[in-house]
Structure 1
Amino acid sequence: MLTAGSTTRTAAATNAAGALPRKKTASGTAYHEAGSGEPLVLIHGVGMRLEAWAPQIAFLSAGHRVIAVDMPGHGESAKLPAGSRLEEFVAWFGRFLDEMAIDTANVAGHSMGALVSGGAAATFGERISRVAYLNGVYRRDPEAKAAVLARAAAIPMSGVDKEGPLARWFGDDADSVTARELTRKWLNLVDPQGYAVAYAAFAGGDETYADGWKDVAGPALFLTGSDDPNSTPLMATQMAELAPRGYARIVEGHRHMVNLTAPDIVNSLLAEWLSFGEDER
């Protein structure tokens, strides 16, 4: 496991996570682009927006063309229809790559974005060079599945739950204070309908592409925090064992929003992942 003390946390990158400039594709997907080189596409989770990747954009754009997207119904991106499943989010991502004229890409996703990136890796073949699956779920146990489905069912009646995610995603440590408040801000900004559609797809998507890891040929990083109660270390190691070039990295003492609470560690692990296979090209 990697501990937060093994590197100096870039608090400045997290603190500077203000609004980033966006462009839009013809179909209405908003994105921010920085740097040049081999493409790296970043997909955030439910309730978030592309600014959630601010520390990774700042660090990784030094050597890559980094493209962070607003997921459908989040940030400034157009919504998907009500009832859209994970497959529709993966299809949306394929259309985005087409609109951006990206033939091959590295893809990193967080939480719901991890499910989308995993679905893309399982179905798009060699178009996805590498996949990084951050704090992503895999075959929830019956208790966890019942809980997430219940939360999804409650959204149309109770709206966006802001306090529940904060309690699950963060501890009370000093590293989490800034990230928690940024996350609270983003949850307050999210479109309720876009949130509901994405959360329903997230709740029902943990097994959709679960059998696909054996066919993912490129380097596959499975990363989570040791204290993430939902996207657990066990899930990460199980997926890593299935992918031919899969490996797990667990950040000790962190929970769900590890890319914000331990950005230096995550940046280092993503840079390592991006370097795998370079001698083969």
Structure 2
Amino acid sequence: MSALDTHFAEREVVVGDGVRVACRVGGTRGPVIVLLHGISSGAASWLPCASLLAASARVIAWDAPGYGRSTPLPMAVPTAHDYAERLEQLLDALRVKPDLIVGHSLGALMASAYAAHASEAMQPDRFLLLSPALGYGAAGKEEKSREVARQRIEALETLGVDGLAQRGPARLLSPAATADARAWVSWNMARLNADGYRQAVALLCGDDIGRYLQERTKPVEIGCGAEDIVTTPAASAGLAQRFNLPFHAIPSAGHACYIEQPHAVAQVVRGALLPA
């Protein structure tokens, strides 16, 4: 917690009339790396990985709309494009052009929408998608979309945020994960906002990553924890093959790979920067 406050401090940025985005910033020089968390997390969750990257880069991790102190999006059923627009507003307010955007899980869906729709002036050189959530909005997935939405919202209403946080590590980490990694997953999940989570579920169940990746103009790489049971290595590798993208398997890591194996993920991130 001391490192979180001193090396990855939170700040709030005003991006519109009454609209705020909370983010955490580490490092003072070098390329700008933007980190986007998934549906069950927040900006602070990136601390172990961001601390490694901040020695040679400026690292910015946001709390997505509806997470932390970030203002929710105005619509009940947002698309990834809506989140991407808010991200571009944040980066514009910070007066930074990203060199690399890294999206994890649902954050990968947001990053893909950014790749497809952000202005050329604010496009990074490359994107890295970690354990990407594919979304259930494509044609033919209607039944699966309804079932996932029902399960997610039912779990939230039955267990509450605290209950989700208690069961999170077993699903998001490999069986060999350390006690520290498990505690960190739970700590971050316990800070979810229920309404922001509901919006994110609507995004997950109503959008499709493929529609954005086919419109991208910048290089994209994909990585996945080798023991991920949420967005499986097979699904991530299949997405990479579909769009002819480089794929990286991250050994001994579950879904929250950047928490469980921060050194390995930091190495993949640095590698993604090298071609640029």
Specify the TM-score bucket, using the shorter chain as the normaliser.
0.7 to 0.9
Alignment of 1:236 onto 2:236: yes
Between the aligned residues of both structures, percent identity stands at 23
Alignment of 1:88 onto 2:91: no
Out of 36, 39, 46, the position equivalent to 1:46 is: 39
Out of 68, 93, 98, the position equivalent to 1:75 is: 68
Cross-structure match for 1:200:
202
Out of 167, 170, 173, the position equivalent to 2:173 is: 170
Out of 78, 91, 104, the position equivalent to 1:110 is: 104
Q: How many equivalent pairs are there?
A: 259
Task: Describe the shift of the 1:180–1:17 C-alpha distance in structure 2 as closer, same or farther (beyond 3 A).
Answer: farther
TM-score between the two structures when normalised by the length of structure 2: 0.83
Cross-structure match for 1:6:
none
Task: Describe the shift of the 1:145–1:63 C-alpha distance in structure 2 as closer, same or farther (beyond 3 A).
Answer: same
| AA at the equivalent of 1:22 | E
Contact (CA 8 Å) 1:31, 1:70: kept in 2 or not? Answer: yes
Cross-structure match for 2:188:
186
Cross-structure match for 1:275:
274
Residues 225-250 of structure 1: per-residue CA shift (max 9 Å, x gap): 12212212222223323446x21111
Task: Describe the shift of the 1:136–1:171 C-alpha distance in structure 2 as closer, same or farther (beyond 3 A).
Answer: same
Query: Residue 107 of structure 1: CA displacement?
Result: 0.5
Residues 123-173 of structure 1: per-residue CA shift (max 9 Å, x gap): 226413211111112266968645522223426743433344333212331
Counterpart-to-counterpart distance in 2, 1:199 and 1:176? 28
| AA at the equivalent of 2:129 | Y
Gaps of 5+ in 1: 1-14
Q: How does 1:14-25 map to 2 (within 5 A)?
A: 18-19=4-5, 20-25=8-13
Contact (CA 8 Å) 2:11, 2:23: kept in 1 or not? Answer: yes
Counterpart-to-counterpart distance in 1, 2:206 and 2:167? 19
Residues 101-137 of structure 1: per-residue CA shift (max 9 Å, x gap): 2345421011111111111112226413211111112
Cross-structure match for 1:124:
118
- 4+ residue runs of structure 1 moved beyond 6 angstroms? none
Contact (CA 8 Å) 1:137, 1:235: kept in 2 or not? Answer: no
Contact (CA 8 Å) 2:63, 2:69: kept in 1 or not? Answer: yes
SS at match of 2:77: coil
Task: Describe the shift of the 1:101–1:237 C-alpha distance in structure 2 as closer, same or farther (beyond 3 A).
Answer: same
Out of 48, 56, 59, the position equivalent to 1:66 is: 59
Larger RCO (alpha carbons 8 Å, 6+ apart): 1
Cross-structure match for 1:34:
26
SS at match of 1:128: coil
Cross-structure match for 1:258:
257
Counterpart-to-counterpart distance in 2, 1:188 and 1:212? 31
SS at match of 2:239: helix
SS at match of 1:171: coil
Task: Describe the shift of the 1:16–1:24 C-alpha distance in structure 2 as closer, same or farther (beyond 3 A).
Answer: closer
TM-score between the two structures when normalised by the length of structure 1: 0.81
Residues 59-105 of structure 1: per-residue CA shift (max 9 Å, x gap): 21222221111111222222223513223212211221222223454
Counterpart-to-counterpart distance in 2, 1:191 and 1:247? 34
Counterpart-to-counterpart distance in 2, 1:243 and 1:130? 15
Task: Describe the shift of the 1:144–1:252 C-alpha distance in structure 2 as closer, same or farther (beyond 3 A).
Answer: farther
Query: Residue 275 of structure 1: CA displacement?
Result: 0.7
Residues 196-218 of structure 1: per-residue CA shift (max 9 Å, x gap): 2222212333x1x4133244343
Gaps of 5+ in 2: none
Cross-structure match for 2:247:
248
Contact (CA 8 Å) 1:152, 1:203: kept in 2 or not? Answer: no
